Amino acid sequence: MSIIRRAAARCAARLTAAGLACLILAAGATSDPPVAGPLGGGQSVTLEPAPPPANPHRHRAVFVCQEYGAPVFADRPCGSTSETRSLAIPAPPPGAAASTTPPSPAASTRPRPAVPKTSASVVPGPENACTKLQRQLDELNDRMRAGYSAREAARLWQRWRDTKERLRTGRC
C-alpha cells in the first residue's frame, strides 16, 4: 500500500509543478508592455483587409515546336522554327471553382435527323446464307470493337458465339 501512495504523491507533485510552470509562463506573457501601432502612436491597431491581388495572367504564350515530326508545346521558345500561340483562359465567375472541362451548351445539341437517300440505282443482289452470316459477324465484331457496357457484354458475346457456330455448321 505504501508503494501506491508514494507513486500517487510523485504524480501529484509532477502535476502541481507543471501547473505552476504554466501559470508563470502565462503571467510573463501578459506582463509585456502594449505594442504600439505601425506608425508609432497609440495602443490600438486597426486591421484593414488586404486589397485583392491584381488580375493574374489570363493570356499565356505557348510555343509550338517540331521535334522529330511531332509538335511539342512549351512555355519558352525552343528554336528558330517555333510558332507562337496564345491561350485565353476565361476567369471563372465569382464564387465558382476553376474547371478544365468545357461548359455544357446552353441549348440542346441533338444531331439533325438523317434523311435516307433514295437511290434506285443501288440494288443489292441476293445474298446466300454464308455471305449473310459473314456480314452479320462483321457487323457484330465492329459493334464489339466500338465498346460496350457490362450489361451488354453477355448478350453480345452470346450472339457472336451463335453466329460463329452457324458459320461452322453451314460449312462456310
Contacts of 82 (CB under 8 A, 6+ apart): 63, 64, 65, 74
pTM for this prediction: 0.28
32 located within any domain: no
pLDDT band at 49 (very low <50, low <70, confident <90, very high): confident
The last residue of one of the domains, among 37, 70, 88, is: 88
- Judge contact between 43 and 28, C-beta under 8 A: no
Long-range residue pairs from 54-61, CB within 8 A, at least 24 positions apart, any chain:
55/91, 58/88, 58/89, 58/90, 58/91, 59/86, 59/87, 59/88, 59/89, 60/86, 60/87, 60/89, 61/85, 61/86
142 grid coordinates: 465492329
For the chain, what is the domain count?
A: 2
- Judge contact between 76 and 63, C-beta under 8 A: yes
Contacts of 126 (CB under 8 A, 6+ apart): none
Would you state the pLDDT for residue 164?
Answer: 92
19 located within any domain: no
124 located within any domain: no
69 located within any domain: yes
2 located within any domain: no
> For helices 150-169 and 129-145, what crossing angle results, to 10°?
160
Residues 85-130 pLDDT 10s: 666 666 777 777 777 787 777 776 677 777 777 665 555 556 688 8
11 located within any domain: no
Q: Which domain holds residue 83?
A: 59-88
Would you state the pLDDT for residue 161?
Answer: 94
39 located within any domain: no
